[in-house]
C-alpha cells in the first residue's frame, strides 16, 4: 500500500515540475519581449509597403548593431552594480583619433588599432577611477563624458575629418554575403561571446555575485576591484570597436558623433531585463531589446516621424522599463501584507 501511494506521488510530481518550469519560461521577460518584437514587426509590415524588403531590413540593422555591441558590455557592468555614461564620448574621442591618424597617412590596420586602443585607454581610465579610488561610477563617467567629448571639440572645433582609406569603408559598409552586413555578423559574434562570458564562466558568476551583494563578495574572496576594472575595460573596448564601425559607415568624423547614444544604450540594456539595481539580467534579453528598438526606430523612420519624437519615445521607454519592475515588486509586497 505504501509503495503504491509513493509511486502515485512520484507520478504526480513530475508533471507539476514540468508545468512550473514551462510556465516560468513562457512568462519570462525575454519571451514577453520577443512577443513584442514580433508584434512590432507585423505592425511595421502593415504600416509601410517598403518594410518587407530584404535590403531595407538589412539597413534597419544599422540602427542598433553598433549600440548593441556596447550594450553587451554595459549589461555586465550594470549587473555588477556600476554604469558607464561616457561610452558615446569614447566613440567621439576614438573617432577623432582615427581621423587625425588618417590625415597623417595611417592605413586601415593602424586606424583600427588606434580606434580600439583609444577605447581601451578610456575604459582603463574609468576603471582606475572607480576600482582603485572607489569613486561612484555614475559621477566618474559623467565627468569623463564631458572630458572625452570636450577633447574632440577642442581638436576639431567646427571642422570634420575625412579622407579615410577606401579599404576602411568595409567595416561599416561591407557585406559578408547577400544582405548580411559585416556589422550584423560582428553583432551576432559578440552576442555569442558575451553570452558565454556572462552565463557560462566563473567570471560571469562573479559579476552576478558582486551585483547582488558586493559586501559578501569581498568576504568570499572575489577580487571585486579587479572584476570591475575588467568590466570597464570591456565597455571601453566595445566603444572603440563601435567607433571603428560608425566612423567607417559615415566616412567622416565630427565631435558630435554618437551624441546621445548613452541614453539609448542604457535603455536597450534595461529594456532587455537587466536590473538597474544590479544582480540580474541576460544577454539574450539585450539581443531581443536591440531588435525591438531597431524595429521601432526604423518603422518610425519609414513613416517620416521626426527624430525628436524618437528621442521622446526612447526617454519614455527608459522611464517605463525602470519603473515597471519596481511597481510590480511593491504591488506583490502590498498583497502579501
Q: What is the mean pLDDT of residues 75-91?
A: 96
The string of pLDDT tens digits covering residues 206-231 is 999 999 999 999 998 999 999 999 99
pLDDT tens per residue, range 5-19: 444 444 444 344 444
Return the domain boundaries, the chain: 36-43+50-336
Q: Residue 304, CB half-sphere, CA atoms under 13 Å: how many?
A: 0
pLDDT of the residue at 307: 76
Average pLDDT, the chain: 88
Per CATH, is 36-43+50-336 categorized as 1.10.3470? yes
pLDDT of residue 25: 62
pLDDT in tens, 103-131: 999 999 999 999 999 999 999 999 999 99
* Cβ contacts of 30 within 8 Å, gap of 6 or more: 273, 282, 284, 285, 288
* DSSP assignment of 240-254: HHHHHHHHHHHSSB-
Rounded to an integer, what is the distance from CA 253 to the centroid of its chain? 22
pLDDT confidence band for 23 (50 / 70 / 90): low
Amino acid at each position: 500500500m505504501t509503495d503504491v501511494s509513493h509511486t502515485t506521488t512520484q507520478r504526480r510530481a513530475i508533471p507539476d515540475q514540468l508545468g512550473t518550469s514551462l510556465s516560468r519560461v513562457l512568462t519570462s521577460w525575454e519571451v514577453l519581449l520577443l512577443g513584442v518584437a514580433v508584434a512590432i514587426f507585423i505592425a511595421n509590415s502593415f504600416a509601410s509597403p517598403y518594410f518587407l524588403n530584404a535590403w531595407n531590413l538589412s539597413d534597419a540593422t544599422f540602427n542598433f548593431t553598433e549600440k548593441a555591441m556596447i550594450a553587451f558590455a554595459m549589461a555586465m557592468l550594470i549587473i555588477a552594480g556600476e554604469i558607464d555614461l561616457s561610452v558615446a564620448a569614447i566613440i567621439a574621442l576614438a573617432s577623432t583619433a582615427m581621423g587625425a591618424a588618417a590625415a597623417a597617412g595611417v592605413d586601415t590596420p593602424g586606424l583600427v588599432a588606434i580606434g580600439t586602443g583609444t577605447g581601451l585607454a578610456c575604459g582603463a581610465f574609468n576603471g582606475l577611477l572607480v576600482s582603485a579610488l572607489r569613486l561612484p561610477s555614475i559621477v566618474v563617467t559623467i565627468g569623463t563624458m564631458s572630458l572625452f567629448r570636450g577633447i574632440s571639440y577642442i581638436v576639431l572645433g567646427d571642422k570634420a575629418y575625412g579622407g579615410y582609406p577606401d579599404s576602411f569603408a568595409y567595416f561599416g559598409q561591407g557585406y559578408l554575403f547577400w544582405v548580411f552586413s559585416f556589422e550584423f555578423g560582428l553583432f551576432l559574434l559578440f552576442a555569442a561571446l558575451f553570452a558565454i562570458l556572462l552565463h557560462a564562466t566563473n567570471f560571469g558568476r562573479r559579476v552576478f555575485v558582486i551585483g547582488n551583494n558586493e559586501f559578501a563578495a569581498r568576504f568570499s574572496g572575489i577580487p571585486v576591484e579587479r572584476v570591475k576594472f575588467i568590466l570597464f575595460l570591456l565597455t571601453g573596448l566595445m566603444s572603440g570597436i563601435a567607433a571603428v564601425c560608425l566612423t567607417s559607415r559615415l566616412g567622416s568624423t565630427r565631435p558630435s558623433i554618437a551624441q546621445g547614444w548613452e541614453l539609448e544604450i542604457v535603455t536597450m540594456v534595461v529594456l532587455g531585463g537587466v536590473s538597474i539595481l544590479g544582480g540580474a539580467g541576460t544577454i539574450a534579453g539585450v539581443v531581443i531589446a536591440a531588435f525591438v528598438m531597431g524595429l521601432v526606430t526604423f518603422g518610425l523612420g519609414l513613416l517620416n516621424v521626426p527624430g525628436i519624437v524618437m528621442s521622446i519615445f526612447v526617454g519614455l521607454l527608459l522611464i517605463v522599463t525602470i519603473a515597471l519592475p519596481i511597481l510590480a515588486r511593491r504591488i506583490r509586497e502590498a498583497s502579501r501584507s
